[in-house]
């Protein structure tokens, strides 16, 4: 349709995403019948340049797993936070090429703020992908010490992820978990349809002082959150973060002329 501005989401998989419904509601509320939002399943990010050429009328994109960092070589430029984080979730097409921004950190910081207490001085971030990089950056930005947890990383290897030391899941002993009262899960494990999957986190070591955040929002309560809540922890899913990062993405697109 002439004059319609196309927005969308790239990633793999994308069928679970609530973003199309979220933006459709926004467009209806704003009376913006000149904008559409679609999902584009892109298994291999190396195909992004060809995809971009084949879709010249797509003016803005969200980026989801597993491409938040992998898409960087195909971009013309980065916003300040995206450059510091090393991952993007929002793209704007410019005459020179795509420019990447990160609104995940912005959305996460605001979603978690009402739940943070002065006891949440240290955090375990489960995962070392693009989403984890944004969360680590946001937590460190507000003064919280972070340890990243990876299937392959061990502290003895001296590895860092987004400025945080990395440990393996097999190093998550009771003392370490009790010392870190904030836990944030940043992988897609447990996402629909594989809702009974869970990272190998020993939830039995959690307690009433813990805040456990799972960025997965479908289902609303993952197995990780169920088990954490059974141990007395306060739990939070990724629904508010999804909404807030979308607010910021929309703001960026509007500023770009959408």
Please give the positions annotated as active site: 68
Round to whole Å and give the CA distance between 48 and 42: 8
Per-residue burial over 206-229, b if 16 or more Cβ lie within 10 Å, else e, is beeebbbbbbbbbbebbbbbebbe
Q: How far apart are CA 200 and CA 216, in angstroms?
A: 16
DSSP character for 227?
H
DSSP 133-157: HHHHHHHHHTT-EEEEEESS--GGG
CA atoms within 13 Å, Cβ hemisphere of 109: 16
CA 245 centroid distance within chain: 9
CB 69: neighbour CB atoms within 10 A? 21
């Amino acid at each position: 349709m002439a004059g319609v501005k196309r927005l969308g989401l790239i990633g793999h998989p994308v069928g679970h995403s609530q973003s199309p419904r979220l933006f459709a509601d926004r467009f209806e509320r704003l009376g913006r019948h000149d904008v559409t939002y679609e999902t584009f399943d892109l298994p291999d990010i190396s195909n992004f340049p060809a995809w971009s050429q084949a879709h010249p009328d797509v003016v803005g994109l969200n980026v989801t797993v597993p491409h938040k960092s992998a898409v960087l070589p195909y971009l013309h430029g980065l916003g300040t936070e995206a450059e510091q984080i090393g991952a993007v979730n929002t793209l704007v097409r410019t005459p020179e090429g795509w420019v990447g921004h990160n609104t995940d950190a912005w959305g996460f910081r605001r979603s978690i703020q009402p739940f943070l207490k002065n006891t949440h001085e240290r955090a375990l971030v489960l995962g070392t992908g693009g989403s984890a990089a944004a969360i680590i950056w946001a937590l460190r930005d507000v003064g919280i010490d972070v340890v990243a947890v990876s299937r392959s990383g061990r502290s003895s290897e001296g590895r860092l992820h987004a400025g945080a030391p990395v440990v393996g899941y097999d190093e998550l002993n009771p003392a370490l978990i009790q010392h870190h009262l904030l836990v944030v899960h940043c992988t897609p494990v447990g996402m629909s349809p594989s809702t009974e999957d869970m990272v190998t986190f020993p939830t039995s070591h959690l307690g009433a002082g813990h805040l456990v955040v799972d960025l997965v929002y479908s289902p609303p309560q993952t197995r990780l959150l169920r088990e954490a809540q059974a141990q007395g922890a306060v739990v939070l899913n990724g629904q508010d973060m999804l909404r807030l990062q979308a607010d910021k993405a929309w703001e960026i697109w509007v500023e770009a002329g959408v």
